[in-house]
Amino acid sequence: MAKPGNGAVKDTEQDSRAMGLNVGWTVFSYLIGGMVAYGAIGWLIGKAVHVSILFPIGMLVGLAISLGFVIYRYGRQESMERNDR
């Protein structure tokens, strides 16, 4: 029979695995989401003003925004947790 201590460690490992999987895919979704959203906005504006370069620019801007947000949200959270230890 497993010791209670081992069970707790196992639970924590499983918790962090589920959390890691979720955070990983959320970060990926943010990066693609930023490109999709601002790419679409850039494309729409570009279509209206006949400047096709706005589409790739929008995608890059979206990527930069989501990258900044991911660092703000998850990077900060991780560093705060590290300080707590």
Partner 1 sequence: MIGEASTVASGAGGCHIFNGCGFPAPGLQNFDYKPLFSVGSFHFTKPMLIAVLCVLAVLVFFWAAFSRPKLVPRGVQNVGEMAILAVRDQILRPALGRRGDGYLPFLVSLFFFIFLMNLMELIPLFQFPSMSRIGFVWPLVFMVYFLYLFLGFKHQGAWGYFRNMIPPGVPAPVLLILIPVEVARFFIVQPFTLGVRLFANMFAGHLLLTIFMVATWYLMSFSAGLLYAAGSAFMVLFVFLLELLVDLLQAFIFTTLTATYIASSLEAAH
22 binds partner 1, rule: CB under 8 A:
yes
Q: Is 66 exposed, middle or buried (0-12, 13-18, 19+ CB in 10 A)?
A: buried
Q: Determine the Cα–Cα distance for residues 3 and 65; give it in Å rounded to an integer.
A: 47
Choose which of 6, 9, 11, 47 interacts with partner 1 (CB under 8 A).
11
Q: Does 15 bind partner 1 (CB under 8 A)?
A: yes
DSSP 63-75: HHHHHHHHIIIII
Binding mask 46-65 vs partner 1 (x if CB under 8 A, - otherwise)? ----------------x--x
The answer to whether 62 and 37 are in contact (CB under 8 A) is yes
33 touches partner 1 (CB under 8 A): yes
The residues binding partner 1 (CB under 8 A) are 11, 14-15, 17-19, 21-22, 25-26, 28-30, 32-34, 36-38, 40-41, 62, 65-66, 69, 73
